[in-house]
């Protein structure tokens, strides 16, 4: 792969800019070296880094590089970032953008926190959140130096690591860390902060506030009320939502032009289901007058740009590491806090959210999965569940008897039965046999798989058995270790995923179609690439979708992913965003190597076992939130795992004749 081109700074005309800003005496020293050059006001540059870059959109090709400096004047420390002028290589970035994103000296006393991101792939970057709640766009350090940056700040101002997140550094946090941050962090007001073209270097003058209004354009039509914060703060002493607010802010600072509209919807039409905490948060944000007129006028100045990059090799060097960090899995002690004395789950949404962000400990899965799958109602009691278990066991046995009572004689005249059983026989011995739970000859668990699947094919004779089902059942049996309970949980899962196995493949087609649309929405260059390469059928995602990534991750990771997906927390269709997230992770490879359909299919098949689950889930969450309603609109109604409409046959009659 090609390295991102580094700009030869000797040709840059950034001197002009820096001179304009009053830092004429800045030495062109080596990147990162602490240079101490005195300025006319007695200011001293204590840190300087070249090739620190902002990506106005998610395209790596659209970027503004500049110089980041920390300047000390008296006892105050200022941060400033000034883009280079005349980067001919990057015609996409207009001067307006350069001016818009310029960070005029900001005193560190105005900085609330700095989050450091050091993705394994791509460049390190920081996000600087101001005390006002505004956040600058991420600053990517093309030449490294984040650590040094933070170390330098530490020498001059009080800075502490956040207890919640080791990558967050709280600045100036003398008194009440929580109180102070909450009110500021939760204001999702600005997506990015820029400043007017400034003519004078005005150290000490807060250059941000005056621009807040015009910079809030992306949510211009939204009505946001910040007056309710105090009330909510009380509930939030240790609420991870606090961290979420940082996340939200960061997301907003990342929001690119392409996602502008979709994201603003997050805060507008927040009454639809599916956005969980973020939605609830935004519900309480209502009615503040935004100077929308002014804002939109201002926005018009920024020309719209086509996101089609010139050089495919430059794609997406930055990774989308901006979902919420994963938590540790839910354990027993915490689980009991979700239950009332009779065993009801008091706040199912909170539970789902908890599971979404952390998963469930292995030994607790047995308890939690039946809820996630919808086999148990959240408001059922211990006693009701025990009763259900007994009833359902009897019902299971009845269905099982139906095939058990078929004698060999009868079977001889019952081709459909023999064929169906034959398929299942063949598949259960090819399912997860490398796990000790299923290995060896005459393993009783393999027999259980067989019996459950055959029973299911009688329970739902129209759908019958289809390859892939054994992959879906295996983890459930592994977790529940009970034949009847596994059967009913599998039934529940198949209520949602059954259409994947329809003869006409409609469930699969609608999902692959939705992926096409989502990629078009969230990564149009990649979409264009697939179009060119005649890859729009997305068959290379077939296995991912059919069996919910079962073959793509190690067994225990699959369990984790499934419980996360089953929460339906940010979206019922998060798995589609997972597909997009994976494709986006590898987009530069796919495009860079000019993969054709065959190569792509092979490449994707061979990704199996090499995908970073946590990263992909985080990306998927971020993409899902970013896509908002436009994302929903990409997904046809009834697309699995949506529950099918109540009316009508699940499996249309004309197909039944062909089905085994």
Ligand X SMILES: Nc1nc2c(ncn2[C@@H]2O[C@H](COP(=O)(O)OP(=O)(O)OP(=O)(O)O)[C@@H](O)[C@H]2O)c(=O)[nH]1
Q: State the residues that interact with ligand X by CB under 6 A.
A: 426, 429-430, 467
* Residue 658 Cβ vs other proteins, minimum distance, rounded to whole Å: 8
Instruction: List the interface residues with other proteins, window 530-549 (CB under 8 A).
Output: 537, 539, 542-543, 546-547
Burial grade of 601 (CB within 10 A; 0-12, 13-18, 19 or more): middle
Number of H helices and E strands in the chain, helices first, is 28, 9
User: Tokens standing for 605?
Assistant: 């098949």
Residue 175 sits in the site that holds other proteins (CB under 8 A): no
Instruction: Tell me how far apart the alpha carbons of residues 22 and 457 are, in angstroms, rounded to a whole number.
Output: 78
Here's the x/- map for other proteins, 412-431, by CB under 8 A: it reads as -------x--xx--xx-xxx
User: Tokens standing for 642?
Assistant: 């949506």
* Residue 473 Cβ vs ligand X, minimum distance, rounded to whole Å: 16
Contact present, 182 and 233 (Cβ < 8 Å): yes
Burial grade of 405 (CB within 10 A; 0-12, 13-18, 19 or more): exposed
Among 180, 294, 366, 551, binds other proteins (CB under 8 A): 551
Residue 272 main-chain phi, psi, to 5 deg: -75, 160
Instruction: Tell me how far apart the alpha carbons of residues 407 and 390 are, in angstroms, rounded to a whole number.
Output: 28
Which does residue 365 bind out of other proteins, ligand X, none, counting CB within 5 to 8 angstroms by kind? none
Which does residue 97 bind out of other proteins, ligand X, none, counting CB within 5 to 8 angstroms by kind? none
Which does residue 537 bind out of other proteins, ligand X, none, counting CB within 5 to 8 angstroms by kind? other proteins
CA nearest 97: which of 197, 18, 7?
A: 197
* Residue 507 Cβ vs other proteins, minimum distance, rounded to whole Å: 11
Secondary structure (DSSP) of 237-267: TT-HHHHHHHHHHHHHHH--GGGHHHHHHHT
Which does residue 191 bind out of ligand X, other proteins, none, counting CB within 5 to 8 angstroms by kind? none
Residue 552 sits in the site that holds other proteins (CB under 8 A): no
Q: For 412-442, b where at least 16 C-beta lie within 10 A, e where not — what string?
A: eeeeebeebbebbeebbeebbeeeeebeeee
Instruction: List the interface residues with other proteins, window 472-511 (CB under 8 A).
Output: 501-505
CA nearest 529: which of 620, 262, 1, 538?
A: 538
Residue whose CB is less far from ligand X, 401 or 430: 430
Residue whose CB is less far from ligand X, 244 or 424: 424
DSSP class of 303: P
Which does residue 311 bind out of ligand X, other proteins, none, counting CB within 5 to 8 angstroms by kind? none
Which does residue 574 bind out of other proteins, ligand X, none, counting CB within 5 to 8 angstroms by kind? none
In the block, residue with structure tokens 């001889």 = 412
DSSP class of 651: S
Which does residue 658 bind out of other proteins, ligand X, none, counting CB within 5 to 8 angstroms by kind? other proteins
Among 280, 605, 649, 652, binds other proteins (CB under 8 A): 605
Binding residues for other proteins, total number by CB under 8 A: 35
Residue whose CB is less far from other proteins, 169 or 438: 438
Binding-site ranges for other proteins (CB under 8 A)? 419, 422-423, 426-427, 429-431, 433-434, 466-468, 470-471, 501-505, 537, 539, 542-543, 546-547, 551, 597-598, 601-602, 605, 658-660
């Amino acid at each position: 792969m090609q390295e991102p081109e580094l700009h030869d700074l000797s040709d840059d005309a950034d001197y002009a800019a820096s001179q304009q800003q009053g830092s004429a005496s800045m030495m062109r020293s080596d990147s990162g070296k602490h240079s101490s050059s005195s300025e006319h006001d007695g200011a001293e540059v204590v840190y300087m880094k070249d090739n620190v870059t902002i990506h106005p959109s998610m395209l790596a090709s659209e970027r503004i590089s500049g110089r980041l400096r920390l300047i000390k004047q008296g006892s105050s420390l200022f941060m400033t970032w000034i883009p280079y002028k005349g980067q001919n290589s990057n015609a996409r970035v207009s001067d307006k953008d350069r001016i818009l994103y310029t960070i005029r000296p900001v005193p560190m006393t105005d900085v609330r926190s700095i989050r450091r991101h050091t993705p394994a792939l791509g460049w390190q970057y920081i996000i600087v959140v101001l005390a006002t709640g505004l956040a600058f766009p991420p600053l990517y350090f093309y030449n490294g130096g984040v650590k040094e940056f933070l170390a330098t700040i530490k020498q001059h101002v009080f800075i502490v690591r956040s207890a919640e997140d080791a990558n967050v550094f709280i600045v100036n946090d003398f008194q009440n860390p929580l109180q102070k941050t909450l009110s500021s962090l939760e204001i999702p007001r600005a997506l990015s902060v820029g400043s007017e073209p400034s003519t004078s270097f005005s150290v000490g003058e807060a250059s941000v506030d005056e621009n807040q209004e015009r910079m809030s354009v992306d949510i211009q039509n939204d009505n946001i009320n910040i007056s309710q914060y105090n009330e909510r703060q009380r509930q939030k002493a240790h609420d991870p939502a606090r961290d979420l607010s940082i996340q939200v802010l960061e997301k907003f600072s990342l929001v690119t032009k392409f996602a502008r509209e979709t994201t603003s919807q997050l805060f507008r039409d927040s009454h639809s289901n599916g956005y969980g905490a973020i939605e609830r948060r935004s519900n309480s944000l209502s009615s503040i007058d935004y100077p929308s007129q002014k804002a939109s006028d201002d926005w018009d100045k920024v020309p719209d740009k086509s996101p089609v990059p010139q050089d495919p090799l430059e794609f997406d060097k930055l990774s989308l590491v901006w979902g919420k960090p994963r938590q540790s899995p839910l354990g027993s002690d915490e689980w009991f806090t979700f239950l009332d004395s009779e065993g009801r789950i008091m706040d199912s949404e909170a539970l789902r959210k908890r599971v979404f962000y952390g998963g469930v400990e292995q030994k607790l899965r047995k308890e939690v999965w039946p809820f996630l799958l919808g086999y148990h109602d959240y408001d059922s009691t211990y006693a009701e569940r025990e009763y259900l278990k007994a009833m359902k066991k009897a019902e299971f046995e009845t269905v099982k008897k139906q095939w058990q009572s078929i004698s060999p004689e009868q079977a001889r005249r019952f081709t459909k039965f023999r064929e169906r059983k034959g398929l299942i026989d063949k598949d259960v011995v090819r399912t997860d046999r490398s796990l000790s739970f299923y290995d060896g000859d005459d393993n009783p668990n393999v027999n259980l798989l067989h019996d459950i699947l055959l029973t299911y094919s009688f329970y739902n004779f129209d759908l019958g058995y289809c390859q892939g089902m054994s992959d879906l059942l295996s983890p459930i049996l592994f977790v529940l270790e009970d034949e009847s309970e596994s059967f009913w949980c599998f039934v529940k899962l198949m209520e949602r995923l059954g259409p994947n196995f329809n003869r006409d493949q409609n469930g699969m087609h609608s999902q692959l179609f939705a992926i096409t649309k989502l990629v078009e929405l969230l990564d149009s260059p990649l979409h264009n690439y697939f179009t060119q390469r005649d890859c729009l059928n997305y068959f290379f995602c077939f296995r991912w979708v059919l069996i919910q990534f079962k073959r793509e991750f190690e067994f225990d990771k699959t369990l984790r992913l499934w419980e996360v997906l089953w929460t339906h927390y940010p979206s019922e269709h998060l798995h589609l965003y997972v597909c997009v997230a994976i494709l986006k992770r590898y987009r530069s490879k796919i495009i860079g190597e000019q993969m054709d359909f065959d190569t792509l299919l092979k490449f994707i098949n061979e990704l199996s076992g090499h995908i970073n689950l946590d990263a992909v889930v985080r990306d998927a969450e971020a993409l899902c939130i970013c896509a908002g309603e436009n994302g929903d609109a990409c997904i046809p109604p009834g697309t699995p795992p949506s529950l099918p409409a109540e009316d009508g046959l699940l499996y249309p009659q004309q197909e039944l004749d062909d089905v085994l």
